């Protein structure tokens, strides 16, 4: 006898919730996982990936990289990318990039699952958008590409530097 049961809708945020509560994760990972709960799967993935690429380019000294990062942080959209950036700012560029690599991997899987479910006409559980508006809330970062990177970009202990208190 073939029976099917309805268990409810799949929660696309389940892994993010688990990672946010996992005491084995470093605080930076827990923070960005929490910040990503409720964000649209495709928007979250592309936004985190774009931020990660821009940070890496600035660190590598790529031409135009600072202008790109300044543009991302000063855009007139919701604060998701700024939230990710400021959750990681000052923690050292190695930790910033590693944490964003980790998050992008989770968000990529989440986006694929979301797309597969929609193609199969199996609508996931509704996401509760954490942002009340599509505009930034408060002051924006200057769009000037002439910003100065702080010590965490080059004196990162993971790069062999010593950050003094």
Question: What is the residue-wise DSSP string for 103-137?
Answer: HHHHHHHHHHHHHHHHHTT-PPPPP--S-S-SS--
Report the chain's mean pLDDT, rounded to a whole number: 86
- Higher pLDDT pick, 109 / 156: 109
> Is residue 144 scored above 70 in pLDDT?
yes
Of 110, 130, 107, the closest CA to residue 46 belongs to 107
Helix, strand, or coil here: 8? coil
State mean pLDDT over 59-87.
Answer: 92
> Is residue 150 scored above 60 in pLDDT?
yes
d(CA 6, CA 53): 41
Residues 93/100, Cβ–Cβ less than 8 Å: no
> Is residue 121 scored above 60 in pLDDT?
yes
Q: Indicate the pLDDT class of residue 76, thresholds 50, 70 and 90.
A: confident
> Is residue 67 scored above 70 in pLDDT?
yes
State mean pLDDT over 63-72.
Answer: 93
Q: What is the pLDDT of residue 87?
A: 96
Of 137, 133, 126, the closest CA to residue 38 belongs to 126
Q: Quick one: tokens of 161? A: 């530097």
> Is residue 99 scored above 70 in pLDDT?
yes
C-alpha 14: how far from chain center: 16
Q: Indicate the pLDDT class of residue 151, thresholds 50, 70 and 90.
A: confident
Q: What is the pLDDT of residue 45?
A: 98
Q: Indicate the pLDDT class of residue 134, thresholds 50, 70 and 90.
A: confident
| φ, ψ dihedrals at 141, nearest 5° | -70, 145
Residues 142/73, Cβ–Cβ less than 8 Å: no
| First CA to last CA distance, the chain | 69
Task: Name the residue with tokens 């942080």.
Answer: 73
| φ, ψ dihedrals at 148, nearest 5° | -105, 125
pLDDT digits (tens, 9 = 90+) for 12-58: 999 999 999 999 999 999 999 999 999 999 999 999 999 999 999 99
- Higher pLDDT pick, 88 / 76: 88
Entry pTM: 0.83
């Amino acid at each position: 006898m073939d029976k099917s049961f309805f268990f409810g809708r799949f929660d696309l945020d389940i892994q993010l919730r688990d990672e946010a509560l996992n005491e084995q994760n470093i605080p930076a990972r827990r923070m960005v996982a929490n910040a990503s709960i409720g964000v649209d799967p495709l928007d979250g993935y592309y936004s985190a990936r774009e931020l990660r690429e821009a940070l890496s380019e600035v660190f590598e000294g790529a031409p135009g990289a600072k202008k790109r990062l300044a543009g991302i942080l000063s855009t007139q959209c919701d604060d998701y990318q700024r939230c990710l950036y400021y959750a990681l700012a000052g923690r050292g560029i190695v930790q910033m990039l590693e944490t964003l690599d980790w998050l992008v991997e989770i968000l990529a899987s989440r986006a694929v699952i979301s797309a597969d479910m929609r193609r199969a006409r199996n609508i996931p559980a509704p996401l509760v958008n954490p942002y009340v508006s599509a505009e930034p809330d408060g002051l924006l970062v200057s769009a000037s590409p002439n910003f100065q990177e702080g010590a965490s970009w080059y004196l990162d202990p993971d790069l062999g530097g010593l950050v003094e208190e």
